[in-house]
Amino acid sequence: MIQPLHDLRERLRVAWAERAVALKAISFALIGVVNSAIDFAVFSFAYYFLALPILVSNSMAWVVAVSGSYVMNSTITFATESGRKLAFDRYIGFALSQFAGFLANTLTVWCMVELAHIPAWGGKLVAIFVSFAVNFSLSHFVVFRKRETAE
């Protein structure tokens, strides 16, 4: 097995055994509710009120939501791993890692609206759930994973 995949599999096994992942997922989800409301509000304002294109509206909403998510998750959900400290370089790393969630969100909302012909607000709600799974996985197992200390 390729070493990085083996390492990821082992981290998943340990996290599940410790059940810490469940508590972090709950915290991440609660913070996600706040950020989803912010995301939805910014998206709706940009799309419906400003009449911006759906991709521009979604991009604006994502930038605002990911910034709030970084602050709250660094100081609450992953406080132990981050030391409850904010740093610009970690913010950039977090934002880059969440880009996969952004892509999943954008692709989902676009598909729901353009291909499934459901209202934009409905597509956005579906997209929020899809991106949650991607964002939590990346946050827990990549960005805020426990670092091995030199002995």
Query: Domain residue spans in the chain?
Result: 3-143
CB count in 10 Å sphere of residue 143: 21
DSSP class of residue 83? T
Residue 146 CB partners (closer than 8 Å, separation 6+): 81
Q: pLDDT tens per residue, the chain (151 residues)? A: 577 667 777 776 666 556 677 788 888 889 988 988 998 999 999 999 999 999 999 899 989 998 999 999 999 988 888 888 898 878 887 888 888 888 998 999 999 999 999 999 999 999 988 988 888 888 877 788 776 554 4
Q: Which residues contact 13 (CB under 8 A, 6 or more apart)?
A: none
- CA separation for the pair 121, 105 (Å, rounded): 13
Indicate if the alpha-carbon torsion angle 65, 68, 70, 72 is positive or negative: negative
DSSP 50: S
C-alpha to C-alpha distance for 35 and 32, rounded to whole angstroms: 5
Q: Is this structure's pTM higher than 0.85?
A: no
Residue 143 carries which side chain, given as an amino acid letter? V
Residue with tokens 């805020």: 144
